[in-house]
Amino acid sequence: MFVREGEGEPEKIGSMPGVYRHSLGDLVEKCRRLSDQGIPGVALFPVTDAALKDPTGREALNENCLVLRAVRALKAAVPRLLLFTDLALDPYTSHGHDGVLTADGADVDNDRTVSVLAKMAILHGGSGADFVAPSDMMDGRVASIRLALDEAQLTGTGILAYAAKFASAYYGPFREAVGSAYAAGTRSLDKRTYQLNPANRREAIQDALLDEEEGADILMVKPAGAYLDVISELRRETLLPLAAYQVSGEYAQIHAAARLGWLDYIRTRDESLLAIRRAGADMILTYFAEEIADRRSEAPLKDA
C-alpha cells in the first residue's frame, strides 16, 4: 500500500492499474475493508514530499514522518491487520538510493546506512509495526536491527528480511509510485553494488542464509516470478517461513499484455501466483491481493 500526504481521493499510478497512492484517512478505510476480506497484512510504502528529501534521508528518522503516522492510525483502527514497514532510505533520499552515500558519492556507505536502519527499526517497532522489513540489502543489517530492537525492549517486533533481493528491472513501476526514480531524474537507478546479481544463484542462497543466522524471522525472495529456482532452493535450505514478493513489474506486465488483448488476464494472474506457491513460498506479497481475496472480482479492477 502506498501512502501519501494530504486528503482526498486515491491517486492513480500510471504503470500499476488498480493500485493507488492513498491519503491517510483513505488508507485506513481501505485497510479495514482488506482485513474484512481476509487479507492478513499489508506492507506500507510512503510517498515522501520532494521538499523533505535530502542526500542523507533525514526524514526517515522523523518520529512524525508519514509512514509512522500511518502505522499508528492503522494499529488503532484495524488492530488485527499485520503491518510490515520497509527499512531502506530510498523514499527519503534525494538520489533515490537505499542508503547514505560514501564521501565520493560513488557507492552506498554500508555501515553508516546500517546504523540509520537500526534507529528506524526502533521508531517503526515502537509505533506499532508488527514486522520491520529491511529491503536495503546492506551487509549485517539484520543483526544490527535485531540488537537495536531488543535493546529497546521491542522483542516482539519481527524481521521480514528481503533476504534475496536482486538488482532487477522489474522494480520500475514501484519507483514511479514512490517517486524514488523521479527524485534521481532517471527511471533506471543502478543498485548493483548492493542488490544481488541476477545471474548468481549461489550468492543469493548464501546471502539469504546469513539473514537467517543474524536473526530474521521470515526470509523473502524478490522478485518472485523470474526467481522461482531461488525460492525452491531456499525452501529446502531453511526452516523459516519463506515469503516471495511478486513485484510491481510482474504486476504491470500482466496488466499491459491483457490490455492489448494478448493474454487472458485472470488466467495469467492466477498462474503467476500458483507458480510462486508451487516453488515453495509460504506467503506472497502481491499487488493482486485484493482481487485474489475477493474471488467475486473476476475482471481487472475497474479503472484498469
Closest contact distance (angstroms) between CB of 38 and ligand PBG is 22
In the complex with ligand PBG, which residue's Cβ is closer, 86 or 214? 86
Contact 47, 21 (CB under 8 A): yes
Marked catalytic residue, from 30, 119, 222, 302? 222
Is there a catalytic annotation at residue 222?
yes
Contact 204, 230 (CB under 8 A): yes
In the complex with ligand PBG, which residue's Cβ is closer, 90 or 233? 90
DSSP string spanning 198-250? TT-HHHHHHHHHHHHHTT-SEEEEESSGGGHHHHHHHHHH-SS-EEEEE-HHH
- Copy the grid coordinates of residue 263: 493474454
In the complex with ligand PBG, which residue's Cβ is closer, 32 or 268? 268
Closest contact distance (angstroms) between CB of 165 and ligand PBG is 7
Closest contact distance (angstroms) between CB of 274 and ligand PBG is 19
Is there a catalytic annotation at residue 302?
no
Q: How far apart are CA 236 and CA 286, in angstroms?
A: 23
Marked catalytic residue, from 30, 165, 191, 302? 165
Site residues (vs ligand PBG, CB under 6 A): 86, 88, 90, 98, 135-136, 171, 174-175, 191, 247-248
In the complex with ligand PBG, which residue's Cβ is closer, 171 or 288? 171
Contact 176, 14 (CB under 8 A): yes
Closest contact distance (angstroms) between CB of 251 and ligand PBG is 7
Q: What is the CB neighbour count within 10 angstroms for residue 38? A: 10
Dihedral sign for Cα 293, 295, 296, 301, please: positive
Active site residues: 165, 222
